[in-house]
Structure 1
Amino acid sequence: MDSVKRSLKKFYEEVGLKYPEEEIIYETLRGILRQRFVNRFLESINGSLLDVGCNRGMYLEYYQNGMRYGVELSLNVLLKAHNSKPKHLIVADAENLYCFRAQSFDNVLCSEVLEHCLDPIAVVQGIAHVLKPGGRALITTPNYKKQPTKWIGLGSLPYYGVSCECDDRYYHTAFRPDELKSLALKVGLKIIRVGTLERDIKYAAKLPAVILLMGRFINRFIGSNRLFIANQILFNKLTILIYRICHTTGLDRLLLTLFPEGVRSFVLVKK
């Protein structure tokens, strides 16, 4: 393992220990919409499921139709895993799924993982390796418009005591839907569906984003962890409120015509 991967491994162990990711992400509109999308996939499949980058196993908990297996890089995350239902959790690198026998799983989920991997084609090759013939896999990642990011700042993580040896940056890129399609085709997978999700974010977060930026500007002079977190909570609550109002009134149908793409990309494939 090279020094960069060792540093990132250490970083994700620290994130797993200190950052309550599921509690934060899935209280946001992005998380709610993503969870709804992934759950529809889980409801449509049967047989064994491998969740690559399973975090604490939220999707494994939801899945009802077969044996559940999860792979996660961070041991600290798995030590906090949900345990109300039987499942098999393994510390492993998403870029090396050859720790499993070929054709081991009926289905694979890889949600919001590929963008963290230095060698994404290795992840997709691993998915093709473990899938049984006829098996399905869903991959989701961030989308982008002009240029994808590569290394980004830690954002809110320092407020939770998280740092990173890579100049306080970590690897986080994005993929267009056609790029996910290309990766899948390169390893011999068949495309069922490709597209974007979380379109509602485009309109629902506009006004709250202005308030969020104002709060962050003020906090540059105050330096308060409490204000930072309160500001983020306010942004999330306002975004959800605007979404619900627009969805209830039907205004979302008009607003969505202005935004043909969502902030996430996905590809659904079959072996």
Structure 2
Amino acid sequence: MPEEAKAALKEFYQQVGEKYPEEEEVYRTLRGMLRREFILGRLAGLKGTFLDVGCNRGSYLESWQGGPRFGLDISLGALRQSPAPLAGRLVQGDAERLDCFRPGSFDHLLCSEVLEHCLHPGMIFTGIALVLKPGGQALLTTPNYHGRRPEHLPLGILEEYGVECSCGGSYFHTAYRPEELEAMARAAGLEVAESGTLEKEVKYAAKLPAALLLFVRWINRFLRWPRLGRANEAFFHTFTLACHRFCAATRLERLLLPLVREGVRSYIVMRKPCTQLEPR
């Protein structure tokens, strides 16, 4: 990738970190709540040095109680908004260049919702293999897809927060299936401990809310009311949560979940062999 394009991408995420309250927006949605519950459940009880790649403002770092914790993010704007106790433990850097850390530095690593933004995904896995201690473990999550792989997303709500993109009204954002994550992990010399999908509940809880969301978006193409756009997004997430809670309370969830083959997000748990394998 030309250096100027890489610089433009870095500038874009600098804006996102400064202007868009991602942790507040995402973790109040059903997707965000399910993802956070999944990740915290995986991190609970672990001990040792911990690195969060793409840490944003440090939400998961705050929850880590198992030992020394460190975070890396491409956006200095996001890091500047992190809690005071994390001062001195955060690094502005590129997830594709984890060689800014010493080899074999961390027992545990989290890389959540980062891979889909990166132009060279294989470099993420190579970096993870580099910085993990022998026997160390990493958890990575990223959007899943079915059919044709997505390559770009419209700015959407980011635009309402003043985020601009030099490449027009969309930005690079892709997705990976679990088997693709496995292939990249093994190519980097990592062992695959587990892989799969999560956030299956979204598949049924968001059906009706999504239909209403798209209908109002269509209307707003003609009205062009910014407040309606934001209210529409907020109502979608509120309605989705209500549908999920209704299904859980009435136990409809027990009938619906087995019908969902895959969740909207892929994950992989990787382990660095005690005797490091050479990357292929």
The answer, yes or no, to whether TM exceeds 0.5 is yes
Please say which of residues 57-66 and 84-93 is displaced more in the overlay: 84-93
Please list the CA deviations of residues 103-142 of structure 1 after superposition, one character each: whole Å capped at 9, or x if unmatched.
Answer: 0001100000001000010011000000001111000000
- Residue 176 of structure 2 is matched in structure 1 by 175
Unaligned runs of 5+ in 2: 273-280
Whether 2:109 is the aligned partner of 1:116: answer no
Change (3 A) 1:254 1:217: same
Equivalent residue number for residue 210 of structure 1: 211
CA distance in 2, matches of 1:244, 1:210: 19
CA distance in 2 between counterparts of 1:156 and 1:126 reads: 32
- Report how far residue 52 of structure 1 moved: 0.3
> CA RMSD of the aligned region, Å?
1.2
Residues in 2 aligned to 1:168 and 1:6: alpha-carbon distance in whole angstroms: 18
Please tell me whether the aligned partners of residues 60 and 87 of structure 1 are also in contact (alpha carbons under 8 angstroms). no
CA distance in 1, matches of 2:254, 2:85: 39
2:96 match: secondary structure: coil
Confirm or deny: 8 A CA contact 2:45 2:66 kept in the other structure. Answer: no
Equivalence for 2:254: 253
TM-fit CA distance, 1:154: 1.3
Equivalent pairs, count? 271
Q: Find the counterpart in structure 2 of residue 143 from structure 1.
A: 144
2:232 equivalent in structure 1: 231
Task: Report deviation, 1:87.
Answer: 6.0
User: Shift in Å at residue 182 of structure 1?
Assistant: 0.6
Counterpart check, 1:219 vs 2:216: no
Show structure 1 runs of 5+ residues with no match.
none
Residue equivalent to 2:101: 100
For residue 3 of structure 1, report the CA deviation from its aligned partner.
Answer: 1.2
8 Å Cα contact 1:72-1:90 kept in structure 2 = yes
Summarize the Cα distance change of 1:248–1:265 in structure 2 as closer, same or farther, 3 Å threshold: same
Which residue of structure 2 aligns with residue 31 of structure 1? 32
Question: What TM-score comes out, normalization by structure 2 length?
Answer: 0.94
| Aligned partners of 1:67 and 1:87 also within 8 Å | no
How far has the Cα of 1:86 moved from its partner? Answer: 6.2
**What residue in structure 2 maps to residue 192 of structure 1?**
193
What is the one-letter code of the residue matched to 2:216? Answer: G
TM-score with structure 1 setting the length: 0.97
Q: Deviations over 1:39-66 (max 9, x none)?
A: 0111042111100000000000111111
Counterpart position of 1:165: 166
Name the CA distance, whole Å, in 2 between partners of 1:221 and 1:168.
18
Q: Structure 1 residue runs of 4+, over 3 Å off? A: 84-87
Q: Distance in 2 between matches of 1:173 and 1:82?
A: 30
Give me the identity figure in percent: 51
Equivalent in the alignment of 1:40 = 41
